Amino acid sequence: MRRLSVPQPIATIGDFEGAAEKRVLAELGPGTLLMAGDNPALPQMPARPRLLDFYRLRFSNAARSHLLQSAMLARKAGHGEKIVLACLLHDIAMGALMRTDHGYWGAQLIAPYVDEEVAWAVRHHQALRFFPDPAVGYEYPQAYLRFWGPDYEVPGYLKRDFEAAREHRWYMSARTITLYDLYAFEDNVNIDPGEFEDLIGRHFKQPEEGLGFDNSPTAHMWRTMIWPDNFL
């Protein structure tokens, strides 16, 4: 049985004629159906997925490595477990879900399972990345100059969220993520996700039924990562 993956609407915005979708649907026929359930091209997820299953079986090597490096740097610097967890999770949305506004998606994804402060820090690290904080040695990232040029104007909602965050009691938690974000893009650093198994056990409430199947407000987001190509 062949299964067809139709591109997600958000990946084909601007294709007003639906050409990409029509191309795939034209192949439907006997022995060729639309994707439903496990995509044979992806590693098989366990029936009750746990957090690290997503790191191991769904995230790109680059995304996994970046998150593990961030967490390891924070741990080596002596930060508490909540901050280390926040670093481990900070770009989780970019693992296998959504790049755009990834801090906000990521915070929402993890909110049912972590301390409120951890989700808050993940949400706000995205805005804080754009704003230097010389008091703690955080400078505007050189990479951002390359990405968007020197005249880039930070969008209003990020300015607003940065200004609110600056006054918040958890500001330093989000700021600390940005400190270990900057230096966590080394190639050839191989960290076993299992290094953080115990910490996750203490600070991430893994549901008995598995992530995606616990009927939490974000279970559908986890299922989308398990079955990213399902037609519906």
Give the residues lining the site for Fe ion (CB under 5 A): 91, 181
The token duo for 101 is 């506004």
Nearer of residues 91 and 229 to Fe ion, judged by Cβ = 91
Nearer of residues 53 and 181 to Fe ion, judged by Cβ = 181
Could you identify the residue written with the tokens 């294709």?
15
Please report which residue ranges of 9-168 form alpha helices under DSSP H.
19-25, 51-57, 61-76, 81-89, 92-96, 102-110, 116-128, 142-148, 156-166
**Shortest separation between residue 177's beta carbon and Fe ion, angstroms:** 8
Nearer of residues 91 and 161 to Fe ion, judged by Cβ = 91
Q: Are 45 and 31 in contact (CB under 8 A)?
A: no
Nearer of residues 24 and 98 to Fe ion, judged by Cβ = 98
**Shortest separation between residue 111's beta carbon and Fe ion, angstroms:** 17
3-state helix, strand, coil in the chain (%, to 5): 55, 5, 45
**Shortest separation between residue 184's beta carbon and Fe ion, angstroms:** 7
Nearer of residues 53 and 91 to Fe ion, judged by Cβ = 91
Nearer of residues 45 and 125 to Fe ion, judged by Cβ = 125
Longest dimension (CA), the chain: 65
**Shortest separation between residue 171's beta carbon and Fe ion, angstroms:** 17
**Shortest separation between residue 139's beta carbon and Fe ion, angstroms:** 15
- φ and ψ of 32, to 5 deg: -130, 110
**Shortest separation between residue 185's beta carbon and Fe ion, angstroms:** 8
Could you identify the residue written with the tokens 């050409």?
19
- What distance in Å separates the CA atoms of residue 118 and residue 101, rounded to the nearest whole number? 17
Task: Give, in order, the Cα–Cα distances in Å from 93 to each of 16, 99, 132, 228.
Answer: 27, 7, 23, 13
